[in-house]
Amino acid sequence: MQKEFIEIKQLYRNKEQYIDKTVRVAGWIRTSRMSKNFGFIELNDGSFFKNMQIVIDEKLENFKEVGKLPISTSLLIEGTLVATQNAKQPVEIQATKIVVEGESDNSYPLQKKRHTVEYLRTIAHLRPRSNLFSAAFRVRSVAAYAIHKFFQDRNFVYAHSPIITGSDCEGAGEMFRITTLDLNNIPKTEEGKIDYSQDFFGKEANLTVSGQLNAEIMALAFRNVYTFGPTFRAENSYTGRHASEFWMIEPEIAFADLEDNMELAEDMIKYIINYVLENCPEEMEFFNSFVDKGLLERLHKIVNSEFTRITYTKAIELLLESGQKFEYPVEWGCDLQTEHERYITEQIFNAPVFVTDYPKEIKAFYMRMNEDGKTVRAMDLLVPGVGEIIGGSQREERYDVLMDRIKECGLNEEDYWWYLELRKYGTATHSGFGLGFERIIMYLTGISNIRDVIPFPRTPKNAEF
Ligand code: 4AD
C-alpha cells in the first residue's frame, strides 16, 4: 500500500519529474483554510519538514465534508502536482479525490498557536507532530547517521558495549542497580549486607554509565573503535543539561596520545555540523528563525575555525583574572562548574575550547598521570551555549601507576583484574573520549533543554511514555 503514495519530500526535491502529473500522497492535516467554493489544506506526511499545499474546490465529490475536517485528520489524496509562482512553496496539489483515513477529534491539542515546550513535554505522544520537535528529532536521526559515517569512513570498528555491567567506569557511584531479588525479602549475608550471590548474575549488576572500559578492550585489538549507545546515570540533577538516560559516542584509539584525541574530536564535531547543515537545510533554517537567531552564523564560523586549547591551570588563571563573581568560588583544584565553563567558552573565547590537564583529584582513575604527579591527561571540550559536550583523556597504560591509582581512588582492584591485564599483555598508549549525543543536538539546534532533544526523556521523577 505504502508504495502507492509518493513522499512529499520527493515531490519538492524532484518536482520537474512530477509537475502536471497525477500523484497520490498520504498525510495529516496541519492546517486548513476554507472559503465557500474552494479551500487550502496544509498536509504533512512526515517525510519532509515542509507541508504540501492541497487545493480543493467544489469539483471534489466530498468537498463540504473535507472542508470541515479537524486538524490532524489523516487523508489519502489523489491530484495533479502544479507549479506555483511562490518561491517558498513552488508546487501544490490540486486534489481530484480525497479519502478520509482517520478523522481526528476536535479536542486535538496541537491547534494552530504557539505552545510552551513545558506543555508539549506533557504530551510526548503528540509533540513529534509539532514543527519544533519534528525538526529536532529529524536532526537527531541525521546526526546519528553522520556519526556512524564519520567513523566508518575512517575504518573504525563499531563496538557494542554491554548495557548491563558489573563495573562502575567513572567510579562515581551514580549507577542504576538492576536486580531480580525479591525486594520484600532481600537475602542478607552474615554481616547483614545484601547477598548478591543469590541475584541473577551472582554479583551486583548495573546499567552502564559508559562503554569506555569495553571500548579500551576492543581498541587494544582493533586499534580504532567507537561505541554509540545508551548510557544511564542516577545523578539527581534537575538541570537542563542532564538526563538519566542519554546516548554517548565513545571512540577509543590505540597508539594515540591526547593530541591525537583532540584532533579526532575536533574533526568529528566539524563533520557532524557540516553534515547536518547540508542534509537538513529546512530544519536548520527553522531553528535559526524560531529558536536561536545567530545559530547558522555561529555554526558556519565554527566549522571554519580552529578550536582553542588551554590547560586547566590556565583556565583557572583566566577566571581569576576576569574579576567575575561566580556562585562557586574559583581556585586551583576546584571542579569547573557550568557557570565557569560557559564563562570560558562564551565570554573569554566565544569559541569551542579544549581544557586539558586537570587535577587528578577531580578526574577518574583511568586517566594518564602527568610528570608533575598532580594533573592527569584529561580533556573536556566546552562550547558556547551548552558548556561541556565532550569528556576524554589519554588512558593510563602503565600497570603499576594504574594499580596505584585504583587503590588511591578507593576502588576494589579485583573488580578491575581484566582491565589491569590489558596493561600486562602488550600495553599501548591509547586515548578516547565520550561525546554526549544530546549535548551536540542541543548545540546544533539551539534548543536549551535536554528534555526537548530526546523523544522520550528520562529525568528524575519522569518515566511516562
Ligand atoms: O565526562 P563523562 O562522564 O566521560 C565519560 O563517561 C568517559 N568514560 C568518556 C570516555 O572517555 N570514553 O561524559 C562524557 C560526556 C559529557 O561530556 C557529556 O556530554 C555527556 O557525556 N554526559 C551527559 N549528557 C547528558 N546527561 C548526563 N547526565 C550526562 N553525563 C555526561
The string of pLDDT tens digits covering residues 288-324 is 999 999 999 999 999 998 999 999 999 999 999 999 9
Q: Say yes or no to pLDDT of 346 above 80.
A: yes
Q: Would you give the DSSP letter of residue 254? A: E
Of 275, 239, 181, 262, give the one whose Cα is nearest residue 387: 239
63 CA to middle of ligand 1, Å? Answer: 55
Q: How far lies 383's CA from each of 77, 161, 320, 390, in Å?
A: 46, 27, 20, 9
User: Is the minimum distance from the CB of 216 to ligand 1 under 6 angstroms?
Assistant: no
Q: Say yes or no to pLDDT of 238 above 90.
A: no
Q: Say yes or no to pLDDT of 171 above 80.
A: no
How high is the pLDDT of residue 87?
A: 80
408 burial (CB, 10 Å; 0-12 / 13-18 / 19+) is exposed
User: Is the minimum distance from the CB of 391 to ligand 1 under 6 angstroms?
Assistant: yes
340 CA to middle of ligand 1, Å? Answer: 18
CA distance 266 to 260: 10
For 357-415, the three-class secondary structure string (H helix, E strand, C coil) is EEEHHHCCCCECECCCCCEEEEEEEEECCCEEEEEEEEECCCHHHHHHHHHHCCCCHHH
Helix-helix angle 131-153:281-290, to 10 degrees: 130
- pLDDT tens digit sequence for 407-425: 999 998 998 999 999 999 9
In this prediction, residues 368-378 reach a mean pLDDT of 98
Q: Say yes or no to pLDDT of 168 above 80.
A: no
Atom 24 of ligand 1, nearest CA residue: 436
Q: Say yes or no to pLDDT of 81 above 80.
A: yes
- pLDDT tens digit sequence for 185-194: 999 999 999 9
Of 394, 311, 324, give the one whose Cα is nearest residue 354: 311
Is 353:345 a contact under the CB 8 Å cutoff?
Answer: yes
CA distance 18 to 79: 11
Instruction: List Cβ neighbours of 232 (8 Å cut-off, separation of 6 or more).
Output: 175, 176, 207, 208, 209, 244, 245
CA distance 134 to 110: 13
Atom 18 of ligand 1, nearest CA residue: 436
Atom 15 of ligand 1, nearest CA residue: 436
231 CA to middle of ligand 1, Å? Answer: 9
Closest atom of ligand 1 relative to the 215 alpha carbon = 12
How high is the pLDDT of residue 91?
A: 97
Please report where in the chains the cell 557540516 appears, as a residue.
274
Atom 4 of ligand 1, nearest CA residue: 391
How high is the pLDDT of residue 326?
A: 94
How high is the pLDDT of residue 112?
A: 78
Atom 9 of ligand 1, nearest CA residue: 434
Calculate what percentage of the chain has a pLDDT beyond 90.
91
431 CA to middle of ligand 1, Å? Answer: 15
Average pLDDT, the chain: 95
Is 60:66 a contact under the CB 8 Å cutoff?
Answer: yes
Instruction: List Cβ neighbours of 430 (8 Å cut-off, separation of 6 or more).
Output: 216, 219, 220, 252, 253, 254, 255, 256, 394, 395, 397
CA distance 275 to 110: 31
How high is the pLDDT of residue 170?
A: 74
Q: Say yes or no to pLDDT of 173 above 80.
A: no
- pLDDT tens digit sequence for 273-287: 999 999 999 999 999
Q: Say yes or no to pLDDT of 86 above 90.
A: no
Q: Say yes or no to pLDDT of 38 above 90.
A: yes
User: Which pTM does this prediction carry?
Assistant: 0.95
Q: Say yes or no to pLDDT of 235 above 90.
A: no
Atom 26 of ligand 1, nearest CA residue: 242
Phi-psi region of 357 (alpha: psi -120 to 50; beta: other; left: phi over 0): left
User: Is the minimum distance from the CB of 246 to ligand 1 under 6 angstroms?
Assistant: yes
Closest atom of ligand 1 relative to the 172 alpha carbon = 3
276 CA to middle of ligand 1, Å? Answer: 22
> Pocket of ligand 1, candidates 210, 336, 377: which has the most ligand atoms within 8 Å of its Cβ, to mutate?
210
How high is the pLDDT of residue 463?
A: 87
CA distance 133 to 148: 23
Measured in whole angstroms, the distance separating CA 91 from the mean position of its chain's CA atoms is 34
Element (H, E) at 119: helix 117-121
Confidence of residue 462 (pLDDT cuts 50, 70, 90): confident
Instruction: List Cβ neighbours of 285 (8 Å cut-off, separation of 6 or more).
Output: 296
Structural Rg of the chain based on CA atoms:
27
How high is the pLDDT of residue 2?
A: 86
State phi, psi for 179 to the nearest 5 degrees. Answer: -155, 155
- pLDDT tens digit sequence for 91-135: 999 999 999 999 999 999 998 788 999 999 999 999 999 999 999
Instruction: List Cβ neighbours of 8 (8 Å cut-off, separation of 6 or more).
Output: 25, 27, 43, 44, 45, 47, 48, 50, 51, 52
How high is the pLDDT of residue 50?
A: 95
197 CA to middle of ligand 1, Å? Answer: 31
How high is the pLDDT of residue 166?
A: 86
